[in-house]
Amino acid sequence: MKLLRRLKPLLVGCILFPSSLLLAQTNTGSEPKKLTLEQCLAYALQQRPVVRQSLIDEAIGEREIKANLSGWFPQIAASFGGTHNLKLQQQPFGDQVLTLGRKYTSNVLVEATQNLFNRDLLLASKAAQYQRTQLDQNTVNNKINTVVDVSKAFYDVLLTEEQLRILDENLARQEKQYNDARSRYEVGLVDKTDYQRAAITLANIRSDRKRAQEGVKAKYAYLKQLLGYPIEENLSLAYDYNLMQQDVSVDTTTMVNFANRVELQQLETQRQLTQLNTQYYKWSFIPTVSAYINYNWLYFNNEFSDLYNQSFPTSAVGLQVSLPVFQGGRRFQNIKLAQLQEERLELDVEDTRKAINTEYQTALANYKSDYNDWITIRDNVQLAQEVYDVIRLQYDEGIKPYVDLIVAETDLRTTQLNYYNSLFNLLSSKLDYQRAIGTIDVN
């Protein structure tokens, strides 16, 4: 019994230890991972579904190209046939009627064909490099959009969290002001309108805080969607506002380089494919040429059991040339159609260049405006803080009425929220400007 009492703590510890370990592991696993913007972008460029789909499309396209080019290799086919002639052909020769053929016939044919000129294969050969380029450009375009979308969503989450922080500070300050105003009313220093105004302001701040709390959840969910992040895992962001503020500047003297825009690169690739398509229809006036060789085992017999006792093989090698002579003008119409498609694509290129220039001018104007707003509001925050501190002291001394303190409090909160709004808008404008001039890095 003494031994059992001594072992009891040890047994309890052994029983509880696995549970404690499991609980610790669960808590560790539930801790949100803190990701910087760079880590978010690296994760999204690997895991976002649209990027992964683009990479799969590249693999699919490569398989399709190889399948189309396989026609240049020798094509070998084998066939087998068997016939039971129920009624054999008869042919009169003079006074005699001869029966032709055998009751049972069969053959085994092996034939190899080599294409020498085929416009479909020629088109596939010349278009292969442009198809690969097109698929790669589509991936690059999706990655550029991913960088911009994820960055904006990242900033949007930070904006909402910072709004929540400011509202928390204002809530704590307003609760203190409410309690002070009520205490002053209870001792008869002021009338009840002061604490009633404080109650109204306090309720408004709580409402704004609740809205921000719910909004940040939705914005985290949207960021997870863009990242391709597991929805069951928690996510937290790591950031440094000082570094963000230092990163708002960009060289606004840089002119747009149309060659760097992937949209024009895609149109250029499409134009090369369209030109090949026109050439393809012109090749329709050139004959299709192929070589072949075959070997055919023939079997004849009136008895099925003896059908394959003896074969009568034949073999041939030859060249086949095929050219449609007249198709009702189809080839000519196809050529004109392809040429019109080229002209239409030229208009698309010109229109896209103009659209890119408009995008560049708009992004540049927005960035300059947002930068000026950010500088102005940044200075206003300091001024609003100073005004609030002075009016707070004057209110405590009984110099200023409570309504002036409410106005100062509201101005301070508004300028603080506007500051982070302006910072978010500035960072977003910078991204739009970088995309417009074609400098978004996706490597």
Per-residue pLDDT of 319-341, as tens digits, reads 999 988 888 888 899 999 999 99
Which tens digits make up the pLDDT trace of 215-250?
A: 889 999 999 999 999 988 889 898 887 888 888 888
pLDDT tier at 13 (50, 70, 90 boundaries)?
Answer: very low
Range name among 135-144, 185-194, 408-417 with the lowest pLDDT average: 185-194
- Give me 103's structure tokens: 């009751």
Average pLDDT, the chain: 86
Q: Give the residue-averaged pLDDT of 264-278.
A: 94
- Per-residue pLDDT at 318: 95
Q: Give the residue-averaged pLDDT of 2-21.
A: 35
Written as one string, the DSSP assignment of 89-116 is EEEEETTEEEEES-SEEEEEEEEEEEEE
- Give all domains of the chain, ordered by start, each with its CATH number: 118-286+330-437 (1.20.1600.10)
> Where does 304-386 show beta strands of DSSP type E?
314-322
Q: Would you say the pTM of this structure is higher than 0.85?
A: no
- Per-residue pLDDT at 177: 74
pLDDT tier at 430 (50, 70, 90 boundaries)?
Answer: very high
Instruction: Report the distance separating Cα 194 and Cα 187, nearest Å.
Output: 13
- Give me 347's structure tokens: 């208009």
Which tens digits make up the pLDDT trace of 144-184?
A: 999 999 999 999 999 888 888 888 888 887 777 777 777 77
Q: Give the residue-averaged pLDDT of 111-127.
A: 93
- Give me 254's structure tokens: 């840089």
Whether 431 and 151 have beta carbons less than 8 Å apart is answered as yes
Q: How deeply is 109 buried, as exposed, middle or buried, from its count of CB atoms within 10 A (0-12, 13-18, 19+)?
A: middle
Strand order in the sheet with 314-322: 75-84, 104-117, 288-301, 314-322
Written as one string, the DSSP assignment of 366-425 is HHHHHHHHHHHHHHHHHHHHHHHHHHHHHHHTTSS-HHHHHHHHHHHHHHHHHHHHHHHH
pLDDT tier at 2 (50, 70, 90 boundaries)?
Answer: very low
Which tens digits make up the pLDDT trace of 47-104?
A: 999 999 999 999 999 999 999 999 999 999 999 999 999 888 888 887 888 888 889 9
- Per-residue pLDDT at 28: 40
